[in-house]
Amino acid sequence: MKLTVNGTTHDVDVEPEMPLLWVLRDELGITGPKYGCGIAQCGACTVHVDGEAVRSCQLEVGDVEGQITTIEGLGTPAALHAVQDAWIEHQVAQCGYCQSGQIMAAASFLISTPAPTDEEIDDAMSANLCRCGTYPRIRAAVKTAAAKLNGA
Amino acid sequence: MSKAGKIARRTFIIGSAAIVGGVAFGTYLAKRAIPNPLLNDLADGEAAITPYVKIDASGVTLITPRADKGQGAYSIQANLIAEELDIDPRTATVTPGMPGPAYYNGTVLAEAVPFPAYDQGAIAEAMRSFMAVPAKLLQMQITGGSSTVPDSYVNLRMAGAVARETLKQVAANKTGLARADLRTEDGHVVLPDGSKIAYTELAADAAGTPPVTDVSLRDPSEWRILGKANTPRLDMVAKCTGTETYGIDHSMEGMLFASVRANPGIGGYVVGFDATAAQGMRGVERIVPVKHGVGVIADNTWRAIQAVNALNIEWGPADYPATSAEIFETLEAAIGDEDAYDHRQRDDGNVDDALADGEVIEASYRIPYLAHAPLEPMNATVRVTDDACEIWTGTQIPLFIRDKAAKITGIPAEQVFVYVQPMGGSFGHRLEMTHVEQTVELAMAVKGTPVKMTWSREEDMTHDYPRPAAVSKARGKVVDGKVAAFDLSVGQSAMASSWFGRLMDMSIPGPDATITTGSWDQPFDIPHYRVTGYRAPDMVPVSSWRSVGASSNGFMHDGFLDELIHAAGADPLAERIRLCGHDTSRKVLEAVGDLSNWAGTDLGENRGRGVAFCMSFGVPVAQVVEVTNTEAGIRIDKVYCVVDSGPVLDPSNFEAQVTGGIIFGLGHAMGAELTYADHMPEQNNFDTYESIRLYQTPVIEMKALSNASKIRGIGEPCVPPAAPALANAIFAATGQRIRKLPLNKHISFA
Ligand code: FES
Ligand code: FES
């Protein structure tokens, strides 16, 4: 089957029920999306399908319809996305393992909610687990990212 | 400043050695007793040095042997070297290097001596430096006990300074100028006329120049990198762009993927298994029995996990009680049992006499098992050939892994190579190595082919080697509005011997200090004051969990102190300050009062606040927690925290460790526990093992004092006070005193 990831189309020969996460990681070598729980509890595996955040551990590859973007396709060290830029400005990551998912969740949230209130940020970002406790900086970075995206 | 310089000259001998195309600077090893870790990278005959800095024509490499589990250890180690070397650490290659015994950790064991950390009397100090010897003997390259900063503070800066002065000497020899007339800047020696020579151009000549070792460390007022608010972490860009490659991301040509299922009753064996269903599944290459379990090697991790789930395995019994109820009964039975008596390191005044009459206040506390559950499940990649074993994994104990792999494979330890990978958290989980042992066994079955084994989250949590469960009985008395007597008896299985037993296949004799760490060593002058540790039988195999013994003792000790202060009718902060006999700690308590505008525990209707204090790893920490009892449950509004761990080297990362520690402490106190049924933990993923989420996270304000005479690490000490401060705040808001964790068994959270 064909899969478009970060603008490149790949041919993959896997069973349709394999979760997208493992197709990306083990078949295509795209390791930005992480395995944390496999049961939709942590959000470390978050990617975008046509701009919308999805948990790739829950999405069977046979059901994928649309363009997939992973953290690697959102921005690069040389050309950062505004959310990544804000994350670096606030020095959010500790171990960093949850942060691909946090950043992908925030990027999609800020498309649908460009000027979020504190409460909206809390609601939107609470589905992503961070065992290191980086939550205060995530809050601050989402606000900064919103301002950056709004050209402020 | 010269004090630090003198200590350094006395304790460390920094030297240089020629390497292919350049020079290395590092510590000379006493009588070459310990083999060199970078032997394979260094030119022959230059094995007598442990390098921290290597320079050749292509650039500067900084070697940072202490593991980075997310706490920023690589950055701080690189910054310590770079501060004296005058380079921008972002322009250097930073690597943990190959593990080697010369990077032994002389600090991690130093806190195991029978003196509280605030006692820096001559005997205590002598004992502490004595403890560096067994660490060296055990060849512990261990990252833990918040020891990275104290252990590296002087020697890494010295390595940078010796390298800098030697490079200046080479430039002086070349130009005919005096070394004193030269200065250094951003990787260059600068001549008086302003022209510059890059270090990389001087490296080859530096190899033949005697190192300049008579150097002094710079005064902190001259620092450019250390102590500066805006110093970024070196790994931040990679971690925000998905380009950091953790152990689980390691990839090799021809690599196979694997997963394992071991007996969920820890330590139990495999009676037999039926692999028929698994065998026929797509992508399955091999099914291999491993220690206490069975592994599947496949062509994809998901397929391996599916096949593991399809295995039909009959398990033998585990040799500890099957249920939480039986486990807690066993712990409670240990308290007061003479045969279980382990140690009493605090016995001031006469507790028995003091509690013989009058009103005695009594309480009992209970602490659950807790999983470490770093977000990256344990994994390892191993390739075994006829004469070598290579291991890629994120670990705090590379040398123990090397030796264990040598034992399993029969390959000499010198031919076992452990490449430490970036880590997605640890909290102490990576002080274990069962997953690596299993991967070595799998890799032996497909010699020559690298195998990456990943534990499913369920396997990881089931085989977590949790923080020990603990119970305590407390008795005390108040007289004239003051705390007069405090007697705490703690029952717990021994953690240190459980851990060492797995690591070194031997049991450690003697008392286990971790049973009362965080209680017996608190800096309070209570007239009659006693803490006793009782060692319950070994049950679920247990391990170190972020802040170790203090994670449970901090809750029990401070919680009961709060009860006594309440009974005395005294102010919780004022009475702790009055009782505190240690100057640095008292200032921390006073400062948290200022920071929080403390005026008692009452904040109005349905609101309240609590204070707690715990000194662990030598660092006094005081926290004030404010809560509101809303209709939906308890909401944590705000936390104030004051710490004193000496000079702060990296303020931004320091703040992240303080807030992260508080959130970790609060989150587990609120809702996390492992309970056992049928020998197995009943929680095996994040749906049932709950912790804190972003919407529950309070605003945190912190302040660091630096009255402490020694520099200390901050990764752990902020965890212990969070749970008691929260419980004390809930008491202030609701009148409900909760003595058993997790708190959500007794009250709900918004
Ligand atoms: S791995 Fe997908 S939500 Fe945790
Ligand atoms: S930074 Fe470690 S899990 Fe979030």
pLDDT in tens, B233-251: 999 999 999 999 999 999 9
Helix (H, G, I), strand (E, B) or coil at B519: coil
> Would you call A140 an interface residue with chain B, using a CB distance cutoff of 8 Å?
no
Secondary structure in 3-state letters for B141-189: CCCCCCCHHHHHCCHHHHHHHHHHHHHHHHHHHHHCCCHHHCEEECCEE
pLDDT of residue B9: 34
pLDDT of residue B137: 38
Quickly count: other Cβ atoms within 10 Å of residue B184's Cβ.
Answer: 20
Choose which CATH entry (3.65.10.10, 3.30.365.10, 3.20.20.140, 1.10.3720.10) describes domain B3-226.
3.30.365.10
> Would you call B532 an interface residue with chain A, using a CB distance cutoff of 8 Å?
no
Look at ligand 2, atom 4, and give the residue with the nearest C-alpha: A130
Which atom in ligand 1 lies closest to the alpha carbon of residue A34?
A: 1
Nearest by CB to residue B302, choosing from A19, A71, A103, is A19
Q: What is the mean pLDDT of residues A117-145?
A: 97
Helix (H, G, I), strand (E, B) or coil at B407: helix
Nearest by CB to residue B243, choosing from A25, A77, A91, is A77
Residues A107 and A138 in one domain: yes
Q: CA B338 to CA A18: how far, in whole Å?
A: 58
* Chain B contact probe: residue of A18, A57, A94 with most B CBs at under 10 A: A94
Q: How far apart are the first and last CA of chain A?
A: 43
- Judge whether A77 and B249 are in contact, CB under 8 Å: no
Residues A13 and A70 in one domain: yes
pLDDT tens digits, B578-623 = 999 999 999 999 999 999 999 999 999 999 999 999 999 999 999 9
Residues A65 and A91 in one domain: no
Residue at which a domain ends, from A74, A104, A127: A74
Q: Which ligand approaches the C-alpha of residue A134 most closely?
A: 2
Peptide bond into B742 cis (omega under 30): yes
* Chain B contact probe: residue of A13, A97, A125, A144 with most B CBs at under 10 A: A97
Where in chain B do CATH 3.30.365.10 domains reside? 3-226, 247-318+378-454, 324-370+466-745
Contact A22 B454 (CB under 8 A): no
Residues whose CB falls within 8 Å of the CB of residue B718, separated by 6 or more in sequence, listed in order? B621, B623, B641, B643, B657, B658, B660, B661, B662, B665
- Measured CA to CA in angstroms, residue B277 lies from B287, B310, B313 at distances of 11, 6, 12
Residues A90 and A123 in one domain: yes
Residue B588's H or E segment, with its range, is helix B583-595
Residue at which a domain ends, from A48, A74, A100: A74
Residues A50 and A12 in one domain: yes
Residues whose CB falls within 8 Å of the CB of residue A107, separated by 6 or more in sequence, listed in order? A48, A53, A74, A81, A83, A145
State the DSSP string of B376-403.
S--EEEEEE-SS-EEEEE--S-HHHHHH
Question: Which long-range CB contacts under 8 A does B193-202 form with residues at least 24 apart?
Answer: B197/B171, B199/B55, B199/B60, B199/B87, B199/B167, B200/B55, B200/B56, B200/B57, B200/B58, B200/B59, B200/B60, B201/B57, B202/B55, B202/B167, B202/B170, B202/B171, B202/B174
pLDDT of residue A9: 98
The mean pLDDT value of chain A amounts to 97
- Judge whether A145 and A83 are in contact, CB under 8 Å: yes
For residue B453, give how far its alpha carbon lies from the nearest alpha carbon of chain A (Å).
Answer: 12
Q: CA B648 to CA B50: how far, in whole Å?
A: 27
pLDDT of residue B147: 62
Residues A122 and A62 in one domain: no
Residues A86 and A51 in one domain: no
**Sequence letter at residue B409:** T
Relative to beta strand A2-5, strand A8-11 is antiparallel
Of B184, B254, B257, nearest to B222 by C-alpha is B184
Residue B564's H or E segment, with its range, is helix B549-568
Q: CA B151 to CA B132: how far, in whole Å?
A: 11
Residue at which a domain ends, from A74, A109, A136: A74
User: What is the extent of the structural domain holding A86?
Assistant: 82-149
Q: CA A5 to CA A71: how far, in whole Å?
A: 11
pLDDT of residue B74: 86
Residue B95's H or E segment, with its range, is strand B93-95
> Would you call B4 an interface residue with chain A, using a CB distance cutoff of 8 Å?
no
Residues A63 and A109 in one domain: no
Architecture of domain B324-370+466-745: 2-Layer Sandwich (3.30)
Domain B247-318+378-454 = CATH 3.30.365.10: yes
pLDDT of residue B52: 86
Q: What is the CATH number of the domain that holds A51?
A: 3.10.20.30
pLDDT along chain B (750 residues), means of 10: 34 67 69 38 44 87 82 88 94 77 47 50 45 44 62 85 92 95 96 96 86 88 91 93 97 97 95 96 98 96 98 95 98 97 96 97 98 98 96 92 96 92 95 97 98 98 97 98 98 90 78 92 97 96 94 98 98 98 97 98 97 96 98 98 94 96 98 97 96 96 93 93 98 98 97
Contact A26 B300 (CB under 8 A): yes
- Judge whether B423 and B69 are in contact, CB under 8 Å: yes
**Tally of structural domains, chain A:** 2
- Judge whether B471 and B547 are in contact, CB under 8 Å: no
